[in-house]
Chain A
Amino acid sequence: MEGSMSSNVKINGAAHKFGDNINTDVHCSNKYTPGKDVDDVAEVAFSRLDGEFHGRFKMGDVLVAGANFGINSSREFAVHVLKKLGVSAIVAKSYGRQFFRNAINNGLPVIECDTDGIDTADAIEIDLATGKVSVAGKSIERQTPPLPREVQAILSSGGLIPFLKEHPDWSLK
């Protein structure tokens, strides 16, 4: 388990930068457009914030944001949309509480650190095991406390449900 985790803990991708207080219920869910499915919403997600987002975003890219990403939005649907888009990780100054849980439960790494200086198109690297976030081209290196072991194990399994299929008794040994 520990071994398999360390083999897949570095994430590389282009950054897409958003500001503070991004409400994922508004920008990335069907809360206000009932009946729309994940594919429908994925096609328009974040376009009100950034009209260029869809032309630029590639599978495996990283969302970067200011404070309170996912604030006020408790819907798990938003994370399903992010997974559908192919977002490999999010780096933000802080997160809405429920969004943070939903991301981990669905196997989407969420890193909390200072994101000032990181901009759209920067090549960003995240090392989940050590908690280091870096942008080599700008000599940016941010050290964060690594995610707790339990959370890393859930992420490494791909989310809470696959984790429980591997560890039905919640054991982390």
Chain B
Amino acid sequence: MGHTIAEKILGAHATGSPAKAGEVVVARVDSTMIHDARADGAFAAVERLGLKDLPFAKNTALVLDHYSPPPTVDAANTHIEMRAFADKYGARLFDVGSGICHQLMPENGYVTCGAMVCGTDTHSVTYGAFNAFGTGVEGTDLSVIMATGKNWFRVPETVKVVLTGKLQPGVWAKDVTLFMLGRFGAEGLNYKAIEYKGSAVAAMDIDDRMTLSNHAAELGAKAAILDADDKTIAWLKAHGAAEPKPVTADADAEYAESIEIDASALTPQVARRHLIDDVIPVPDAVAQKISVALIGTCTNGRLDDIRQAASIVRGRKIAKGVRFVVTPASRAIYLAAEKEGLIRDIVEAGGSFDSAGCGTCVGITNKLIAGDRDVVITSANRNFQGRLGNDESAIFVSSSATVAASALTGHVTDPREMEGGQWRAA
């Protein structure tokens, strides 16, 4: 019997030969990330370990993204501790305004094909877009990895998802993950690794692939790993990654389940208030009025998201009563958007930009608290009740294109019906 990508990567980092789903292995970890909302826990665990040196902290990125800039004294003090920790142990600090951890990790060469990458955040599955095993862990895990370079892992079973055909213009990876959530339910693939394959994945650009892997967190996935191709290798090399050595699954690998989805038939999707798995096609949701439109987060704050939005709102005005905020996932994206004139397009249409970071994703950042009866449409990843600091508001989740189209009309809108909504990179 052959092996899945997860079995191969975990095995290669443990014994040197493929592991088997269900086994517990002690595996090397190549790089790690701690963000500011979890730093306190990680530092407390480091204290309990009581070691003088953390020899593997040099492979750790400390990212100030949730509280960027800090909205409270506690957050500001955490940032002071993080700066001191980075200096003391030789970790690299990404200060306020640098961007979101899951964007900065690949942008700064911490991720490559076949790598084991752990972060203190469930969306660490994003790194699977680059054929790495990326997974979320907590402070204790991070402290022992910085000390020993290793951790224990249960090798997950893998679900193979083949996306056949090709996404229509105006339909994006986010629509795929929302469709998956509607089908499997939130946490419906709890503990599983996902391998996404097929012509529709091959056709996706890197930004969209990152969304595909990232949003698998809401399915409960431990990892969401894509095959590497020329686009992956070129991107990694351009961002200073270690030599990419792609890992592929064997033809006779054993999967917990194999499913096929016809990507060509997929329409834009939206998750309705409070439930990320209450998903319906956008054309069935157009009666829903919205008052806040948000683009950003580690799921959909990349350059292609901003391009989609600018293409739709360019030369027009957003609807009366709608607040439209875009938050780039990193400073590099911010600058690229500026260079392409996208910031002007969006701001002239009535939108506004926030500095790079987690921004309007969750109420704890204090970037945006929704009012009573506000209905938010966002390209973020979660919409449970109170996520934006107010139980009386509602959050709908969609692609960035759908958010931008909805900002123009004031109700949930299919981007395929808007001028510019068919945009895709040439």
Contacts and interface: CB of A to CB of B under 8 A. Distances in A.
Interface string A55-75: 000000000000010011011
Contact of A77 (B24, B41, B141, B187): B41
Given A35-B74, A74-B136, A101 B141 contact: yes
A71 B140 contact: no
B141 A160 contact: yes
B187 A72 contact: yes
Interface residues of A, number: 32
Contacts of A74: 121-122, 136, 138
Contact of A106 (B24, B140, B152): B140
A149 B152 CA distance: 12
Question: B interface, how many residues as a size bin?
Answer: 20 to 34
Nearest to B363: A32
B241 interface: no
Given A148-B24, A170-B150, A34 B364 contact: yes
A105 B24 contact: no
Contact of A160 (B23, B140, B186, B386): B140
A68 B187 contact: yes
A97 B220 contact: yes
Nearest to B190: A97
Interface string A150-173: 110010000111001100101000
A114 to B, nearest CB: 17
Contacts of A31: 364
Interface in B349-364: 364
Contacts of B154: 148
A32 B24 contact: no
A154 B143 CA distance: 15
Contacts of A71: 187, 190, 220
B161 interface: no
Nearest to A170: B26
A76 interface: yes
Contacts of A165: 49
Contacts of B147: 164
A115 interface: no
B190 A96 contact: yes
Nearest to A71: B187
B12 interface: no
B220 A76 contact: no
B3 interface: no
A47 interface: no
A110 to B, nearest CB: 12
The listed residue with most A CB atoms (<10 A of its CB), out of B72, B141, B144, B190, is B190
Contact of A101 (B121, B137, B187): B137
Nearest to A147: B24
Interface of B: 23-24, 26, 41, 45, 48-49, 72, 74, 121-122, 136-141, 143-144, 147-148, 150, 152, 154, 186-187, 190-191, 220, 222, 364, 384, 386
Interface of A: 31-32, 34-35, 68, 71-72, 74-77, 94, 96-98, 100-102, 105-106, 148-151, 154, 159-161, 164-165, 168, 170
21 contacts: A34-B72, A68-B190, A74-B121, A75-B138, A76-B41, A97-B190, A97-B191, A102-B138, A105-B140, A148-B154, A150-B24, A150-B152, A154-B152, A160-B140, A160-B144, A161-B48, A161-B49, A161-B143, A164-B144, A165-B49, A168-B148
